[in-house]
Amino acid sequence: MADPALHPETQPLKQIAIDYTPEACTHCPNSNTITLTFDHRGGARWRTTTRFLYGTFSALIKCPTGNTSGLNFNLYLSSLEGDKSQDEIDFEFLGKDLTVVQTNYYTAGTGSRESIHQLGFDCSDGFHEYVIKWGPNEIQWLIDGKAVRTEKKGDGEDFPEKPMFLYASVWDASYIDEARWTGKYVGCDAPYVCVYKDIHVPAGTALESSCDS
C-alpha cells in the first residue's frame, strides 16, 4: 500500500468533476482556483476525477461572508458521496459560527467522531490553508501549518482505508438536527461564495476509477 511518508509529494489539482449545479461552480486550472456559489439555485459540489489511497491534500480557502447561518461549506475526502458505507475525512465549516471548524472521520459509514476547533480568526476574512494528511495508521488535520487534531489507529480499530475522492461543497444544512448544527438559514447576504485556491493532491497515489465503482 502507498504510504504518505514515502509519497510526500503533492501536485496542483488540474481537473475536477462537478456533481450538481455546474453553473454555480467555476474552475480555472491555470490559477488553480475554484469558486462555489450558494444562492436561489442552491449550492454546488466539486470533486477530483480520481480516487486516492493515502497522501496529503490541501487548499487555501476563503469562506463566504455575511450571515451564513444554516450553510455548510467544507473540504473533505470520501470514498463515494451518498454511499451509506463510505469512508470519509472532513473539514466542515458551520455557518452559524465562522470562528470554528469541525473535523470528523467515518469508517464504513460510521462517524460520530466530531471535534470542534476554535480557529482564532473569522474564516471569511481571508485565505487560510487547510490540510488533511491521511495514512494507513494516522490522520492529521492542519490549519495554517499547525496540527489541530491527530488520530492514530488503535489495535483492532476501524480506520479509513478505502480509496477516496477529494470533495468540496456549499449546501443548506439547516434541516439537520432542527438547525442546531449549522443554524437556521437566513439568506440575507446571498449570494454566498466560497473560494478555493492552490489546491494540491497527492502525486503518485491516484487510482484509476469511476465515480460509481
Active site residue 208: no
For residue 46, give the nearest of 22, 18, 13 by alpha carbon: 18
* Residue 72: HSE in the Cβ half-sphere, 13 Å Cα cutoff: 21
* Radius of gyration over every alpha carbon of the chain, rounded to an integer in angstroms: 16
Instruction: Say which of 9, 23, 81, 88 is annotated catalytic.
Output: 88
CA distance 28 to 208: 23
101-106 LR contacts (CB < 8 Å, sep 24+): 101/130, 101/143, 103/141, 103/148, 103/149, 105/139, 105/151, 105/160, 106/160
Nearest of 152, 165, 9, 203 to residue 81 by alpha carbon: 165
Active site residue 92: yes
**C-alpha to C-alpha distance for 31 and 33, rounded to whole angstroms:** 5
Q: Give the catalytic positions in this structure.
A: 88, 92
